Structure 1
Amino acid sequence: GLRVGLLVFAIVGSVGVFAGICTVIYCIYTGVCCGRKKIHNSVQPTITRGSSSTSHASSNNPPSRSLTVRRQGSRALWRQRSGTSSAKHADRAEEFSFEELAAATNNFSVENRIGAGSFGVIYKGKLSDGKEVAIKRGETGPRTKRLQEKENAFDSEIAFLSRLHHKHLVRLVGYCEERDERLLVYEYMKNGALYDHLHDRNNIEKHSSFINSWKVRIGIALDAARGIEYLHNYAVPPIIHRDIKSSNILLDANWTARVSDFGLSMMGHESNKDLRPLSAAGTLGYIDPEYYSLNVLTAKSDVYGFGVVLLELLSGKKAIIKGENEGDDPISVVDYAIPAIMAGELGKILDPRVGKPELNESEAVELVAYTALHCVNLEGKDRPTMTDIVVNLERALTLCEDSHGSISSVGISIASD
């Protein structure tokens, strides 16, 4: 009996030791592999003091440091903001050579230049397969700070657009990263930027432009609103664009609007907590005054910028309006339009190129105006959400085709925090 017991004990002990060794080997193996894969497979931002300090230290590197060292900060910042690794930019985005993109744009000729975005010039190009694209080439120069900004914008756009897919967001086709060159390739938007149509010097009367129609303008506003709503409510984590303006709303061949340029975008918090970036960013005339003065960023900052775009669509005026006479101070479209809207004198500020709204359009235009009024409230808590705005614009578009119903009967969807 003792012999059998010892034999059983020896067998069980051997099995236990073997299992323990296998467990240790497995843990070491999976630990190493997961450590390598963690950054690549992550979908949540990894915000740590370590990565922040790395980014900050990198931005202060002197020009004599190697390109590899200079890039560490931007890569850490990218992982912090997107949760993805810069080693594999996007499995859906194609990597192009600089030579290919130079050939596609006739060596980046002035004739191919179609605009500018955050830290880059945009060119129209045709790839070897005949596909038309828009190519943004990052600015080149010896200044380290400018290089850092360019790389941050480059990394941000790839990080966001490679995982965002929505009919009202411009799609990323691919990228190029060679030496100091940083290029992004987007689908080509045949009808350009909303800004160019609204403020074209040749657009002087109703028949000068396709967008000189209240129905078309409201449709464009609704498309853009849906794109921004997706960023705020359906992207995980949420994304705050930070540079909503008419030049970042592009129009495709069918006049469908898409939001573009994510070079300044930042991850929001799913808990809707405030963000405090290092410094306020955006464009004069569109930037949220609360964000600018307090450096507190929320999704409502995008709402303010979109409110300015709505006022542009209504009035035909630029975000910053130059004085009519020499020496006159410029004023914002907000200061120009809001007093008239509040006084019930909307007709005074409507774009004369579109003309007076017809019976079935007047209520729709009023609904857009009152939505814009709430969007540009000084305090973010008093502004509507993008979902509220989408609901209002959907109703406004319906009103353009329906002479029945009124603002008093349908109500205005405005919810504040």
Structure 2
Amino acid sequence: MTLPISGAGAVIVAAVISLITSVLLPFSHALGSSATTLAVAYGANITICGIVASQPIQRIQCWSENQLAPIPISPNASFNSIAGGVNGFTGVETGGFSLLFWNSSFQPKRLFFSYSTLLTTVTMGDTQICGLTNGTQNVKCWRDDSNLAKQPNGSSQFMSISSGSGFSCGILKSSNRVICWGNNRDIASAIQSGFGNITVVNIFAGGKHACGMNSTGFLICKGDNENGQLDIPSNFAYEYNGLALGVNHTCGILRMNYTVVCWGGNGEFSMNLTKGLSFESIVAGLDFTCGLTSGNFSVICWGPGWSSNMYPSGTELPLPMILPGPCVQNVCDCGVYPQSKTLCSGNGNICRPCDFSVGVAPPPSPPVFIMVPSSPSKGLRKGLLAFVIVGSVGAIAGICTVVYCLWTGVCFGKKKIHNSVQPTISTNNVAQQCYSSGQVSRSSTLRRQGSRLMRRQRSGTSSIHGDRAEEFQFSELVAATDNFSLKNKIGAGSFGVVYKGKLADGREVAIKRGEMSPKMKKFLEKERAFESELTFLSRLHHKHLVRLVGYCEEMDERLLVYEFMKNGALYDHLHDKNNVEKSSSVVNSWKMRIKIALDAARGIEYLHNYAVPPIIHRDIKSSNILIDANWIARVSDFGLSLMWPETDARFSQPMRAAGTVGYIDPEYYGLNVLTAKSDVYGLGVVLLELLTGKRALFKTSENGDMPMSVVDFAVPAIMVGELNKILDPRVGLPELREAEGVELVAYTAMHCVHLEGKHRPTMTDIVSNLERALAACDVSHDSISSSPDSIKSD
């Protein structure tokens, strides 16, 4: 039955429907295999993965049939959603800025990274992985064995997507119609034709079929029916909360009591093992299904294809408690899930699923209709009226939000990275997205997963810095710095001034305050640098990287709080006027200078080789190498840093140079080609500063006002074996036991600043040589060779 509405009421209802369709539905339905916290990967081995509950970091753990204990998955970072397939699975990091893929050996590979285009959900089908972006809700697809992913028209906007065996389907935002794409064109076309002009509000795919709820709440399945996977046992309006589709079976969660029923699979899916159990979500393998139980958030699996002898069908897998939904920072439209704070360990909330017992479908043309099940009761009509009234209020609120976004510009921060203080080259990096491929075997069979939540979480707008950093009130930091007095100013960083502060609990900290400016451009630059540094430091923990204590984000104020480095920056020890004449300084020994160089190199090596994804710092310089109270050096200031592909390949998109004059890689500056070797060049300049005591750029009487680079000053002397002529006189000539160590540092520096990146050493090579150089300060002359040939390059 339909209720026609005309006149002014039609206009209001049309506005409500439009707003609900474009805003509420895309962020309130679990969509096929999207936004789930449980995933199945299979192929050589069956692997079940989940996002762990009740921990500060919402990390991933997996169980594999060839492993006795749960497997912690690297990196140790928070994730919003995961999806699995053949010999691997994929996950969206909290915040939506990064998509990782793990192969059957659990080795991670980054498929996607962008600050400006965030992912809200991900789905995996065969070897194809697809995700939806926030804002535009466009589809992006990647293939593990090729960069030529099959995907729909780039301008199409989708409410939801899901994937089956070699195909994906999505619901067009403009019409609620189903379209499908992928390598398996025959089945994609058949499913799309089967749905035809039916309007649906969610989609689930798996094997060679797909199912979705239409606008009146009835489940519809299309595609291959060889094993009865389309034969829904009963079909009442809004009967099912979630689905999981395997290669030849379908399972659904009943809305009435959250128990599971399965059909298809030649009748081999016995439900006796799960009788009386309720489930939060279910996922499907080839011919088995796994579910997250409501009682204790444990995982059990069942079905003819489940082959584990140690954990037979219906028994709990040795996994910790798994989250029933993503932990998000935004306001929940339909309330907060019970135990949310405990399950998320205080880092966000799990949103309660919205009740869509009244389906809403956008009309093809006026007049406007609200679709309801036949013979609506009096109570339902009242509920419908209340729904319209509340929707009208929501429409006004939504319009106000849009106006606010347009007025303030906060909706358009594209996370472009600001550049550094000190004389710098300005940056306009266009590319923040890098693609790489994984190694997943192709197969015609694939599991699909469904969720009781029946909506996509708004994970794309979640906080990307709430996992490890303490949040401070602005008033606390004002008090800590005596209202940011000049006497507490100790330096400057990538987006503002740094002050020494003392917190109420007695901790000494360094507080970086974003520079204030009435201009919107300056505000956005401050915001981008703030987000960049916070994103990196909140997930990086290493002895030779500066530690982030916390942050403050109030109104236009953006502040970062670091542990206080008592001995300041290496730049000050080498070049500050107050230190230049201090021959007794701790830094004025070759052993200490080599140790500081080694500390910094180890920090950079961690970024390049052990961080997942790897990171290019892009602004290595002596002022960004800080020294703590124990004279341990640490790399700081990640305002310009970028994630990069695991290989040393060039970025595939243009990227304008950024960095500090005197330290910036000439190949990067001239050709806009960024690799890890750009950081190697910067460190090479720092090594030359340590050797000579000269600034990266300095003036000489011979050159008048024209500055000379320390590279041009030092490299010719090193090449001809006249190192003693350029060494810092404050330290003096090295003793016999130190001479070969200093010489090895000089040869390492010379190779680091080679004009071509391919001829520079890797950070691992540099660390190895500096370790040998430091050892040379304590052992006999004959124990080490400093030949230039000992420097590697690639």
Normalising to structure 2: TM-score of the pair? 0.45
**Change in CA separation of 1:106 and 1:382 when aligned onto 2, cut-off 3 Å:** same
Aligned to 1:66: 407
Partner SS for 2:577: coil
User: Offset of 1:31 from its aligned partner?
Assistant: 3.8
**Change in CA separation of 1:131 and 1:375 when aligned onto 2, cut-off 3 Å:** same
Alignment of 1:250-329 (within 5 A): 250-275=626-651, 276=653, 278-324=655-701, 327-329=704-706
User: Offset of 1:30 from its aligned partner?
Assistant: 6.4
8 Å CA contact 1:231–1:238 kept in 2: the answer is yes
- The Cα RMSD (Å) is 3.1
Structure 1 position 195 matched with structure 2 position 571:
yes
- Separation in structure 2 between the aligned mates of residue 32 and residue 304 of structure 1, nearest angstrom: 42
Structure 1 position 337 matched with structure 2 position 391:
no
Aligned to 1:377: 754
User: Offset of 1:321 from its aligned partner?
Assistant: 1.0
Q: Output one character per residue of 1:152-196: Cα deviation in whole Å (capped at 9) or x when no partner.
A: 111111111111110000011101111111100011100000000
Identity of aligned residues (%): 66
Partner SS for 2:578: coil
**Change in CA separation of 1:196 and 1:128 when aligned onto 2, cut-off 3 Å:** same
**Change in CA separation of 1:106 and 1:86 when aligned onto 2, cut-off 3 Å:** farther
- Separation in structure 1 between the aligned mates of residue 534 and residue 786 of structure 2, nearest angstrom: 45
- Separation in structure 1 between the aligned mates of residue 549 and residue 115 of structure 2, nearest angstrom: 33
Q: Output one character per residue of 1:247-266: Cα deviation in whole Å (capped at 9) or x when no partner.
A: 00000001100000000000
Larger radius of gyration: 2
**Change in CA separation of 1:208 and 1:48 when aligned onto 2, cut-off 3 Å:** closer
8 Å CA contact 1:75–1:86 kept in 2: the answer is no
**Change in CA separation of 1:392 and 1:283 when aligned onto 2, cut-off 3 Å:** same
Residue identity matched to 1:292: Y
Aligned to 1:11: none
Structure 1 position 176 matched with structure 2 position 552:
yes
Residue identity matched to 1:140: M
Matched pairs, number? 384
- Separation in structure 1 between the aligned mates of residue 531 and residue 433 of structure 2, nearest angstrom: 10
- Separation in structure 2 between the aligned mates of residue 391 and residue 185 of structure 1, nearest angstrom: 33
Q: Output one character per residue of 1:110-133: Cα deviation in whole Å (capped at 9) or x when no partner.
A: 011000001210000111100000
Residue identity matched to 1:51: T
**Change in CA separation of 1:108 and 1:27 when aligned onto 2, cut-off 3 Å:** closer
**Change in CA separation of 1:36 and 1:315 when aligned onto 2, cut-off 3 Å:** closer
Aligned to 1:391: 768
**Change in CA separation of 1:162 and 1:412 when aligned onto 2, cut-off 3 Å:** farther
Residue identity matched to 1:108: F
**Change in CA separation of 1:205 and 1:113 when aligned onto 2, cut-off 3 Å:** closer
- Separation in structure 2 between the aligned mates of residue 258 and residue 293 of structure 1, nearest angstrom: 29
- Separation in structure 2 between the aligned mates of residue 290 and residue 375 of structure 1, nearest angstrom: 13
8 Å CA contact 1:75–1:85 kept in 2: the answer is no
- Separation in structure 2 between the aligned mates of residue 121 and residue 49 of structure 1, nearest angstrom: 24
**Change in CA separation of 1:280 and 1:28 when aligned onto 2, cut-off 3 Å:** closer
Unaligned runs of 5+ in 2: 1-28, 38-78, 82-91, 100-109, 119-132, 136-403, 419-431, 435-458
Structure 1 position 40 matched with structure 2 position 40:
no
Alignment of 1:55-94 (within 5 A): 65-67=406-408, 69-74=409-414, 87-94=463-470
8 Å CA contact 2:115–2:416 kept in 1: the answer is no
Structure 1 position 363 matched with structure 2 position 740:
yes
Normalising to structure 1: TM-score of the pair? 0.84
User: Offset of 1:73 from its aligned partner?
Assistant: 2.6
Partner SS for 1:363: helix
Aligned to 1:12: none
User: Offset of 1:36 from its aligned partner?
Assistant: 6.8
Residue identity matched to 1:184: L
Higher helix proportion (structure 1 or 2) = 1
Alignment of 1:101-112 (within 5 A): 101-112=477-488
Unaligned runs of 5+ in 1: 1-25, 56-62
8 Å CA contact 1:367–1:407 kept in 2: the answer is no
The farther-off stretch of 221-230 and 87-96 is 87-96
- Separation in structure 1 between the aligned mates of residue 662 and residue 569 of structure 2, nearest angstrom: 17
**Change in CA separation of 1:319 and 1:253 when aligned onto 2, cut-off 3 Å:** same
- Separation in structure 2 between the aligned mates of residue 372 and residue 409 of structure 1, nearest angstrom: 13
User: Offset of 1:41 from its aligned partner?
Assistant: 7.3
- Separation in structure 1 between the aligned mates of residue 683 and residue 751 of structure 2, nearest angstrom: 11
8 Å CA contact 2:615–2:641 kept in 1: the answer is yes
User: Offset of 1:74 from its aligned partner?
Assistant: 3.7
**Change in CA separation of 1:244 and 1:410 when aligned onto 2, cut-off 3 Å:** same
Partner SS for 1:396: helix
Residue identity matched to 2:576: D
8 Å CA contact 2:740–2:781 kept in 1: the answer is no
- Separation in structure 2 between the aligned mates of residue 300 and residue 361 of structure 1, nearest angstrom: 28
- Separation in structure 2 between the aligned mates of residue 84 and residue 306 of structure 1, nearest angstrom: 36
